[in-house]
């Protein structure tokens, strides 16, 4: 079973509604709540990643995503960052550096993480 955590810090210069919309564009099946100035959601099934998987397919970045995620695997988990502005437009954009407005942080753990990444990027 996959465990998914999605977190997005809402900076003072940002609209919480816009940050929520950005996160929900990528992960619409998760319910976001507020926790210490951040939006936080958790999921326990790979189906919670279904919309994200579909966006990777639509944008034709599955191979790039697979390589990006495989490089970040640690044990049975993977963590990565997504660009908030791209997410607001309904696009997946992996971030490999510090971004002024911050990012959407995603953590996924699964006993068979390699298979989950294959499914996600397949």
d(CA 62, CA 68): 10
Longest dimension (CA), the chain: 40
Number of separate domains in the chain = 1
Measured over the CA atoms of residue 110, residue 111, residue 117 and residue 122, the dihedral's sign is negative
At 50 the pLDDT is 97
Burial class of residue 13, CB neighbours in 10 A (0-12, 13-18, 19+) = exposed
Q: Which domain holds residue 59?
A: 3-120
Please determine, for residue 30, whether its predicted confidence score (pLDDT) is greater than 90: yes
**Which CATH number belongs to the domain containing residue 55 in this structure?**
3.30.1440.10
Segment 52-67, tens digit of pLDDT: 999 999 999 999 999 9
Q: Residue 60 corresponds to which tokens in the numbers above?
A: 């034709």
Please determine, for residue 100, whether its predicted confidence score (pLDDT) is greater than 90: no
Average per-residue pLDDT in the chain?
95
d(CA 67, CA 28): 24
Which of 25-45 are b and which e, b meaning 16 or more Cβ less than 10 Å from the residue's Cβ?
bbbeebebeeeeebbbbebee
């Amino acid at each position: 079973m996959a465990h998914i955590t999605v977190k997005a810090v809402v900076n003072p210069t940002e609209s919480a509604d816009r940050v929520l919309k950005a996160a929900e564009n990528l992960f619409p099946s998760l319910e976001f709540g507020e926790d210490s100035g951040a939006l936080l959601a958790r999921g326990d099934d790979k189906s919670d990643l279904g919309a994200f998987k579909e966006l990777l397919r639509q944008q034709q970045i599955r191979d790039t995503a697979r390589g990006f995620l495989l490089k970040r695997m640690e044990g049975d988990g993977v963590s990565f960052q997504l660009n908030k502005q791209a997410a607001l437009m309904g696009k997946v954009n992996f971030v490999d550096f510090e971004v002024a407005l911050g990012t959407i942080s995603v953590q996924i753990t699964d006993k068979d993480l390699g298979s989950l990444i294959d499914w996600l990027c397949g």
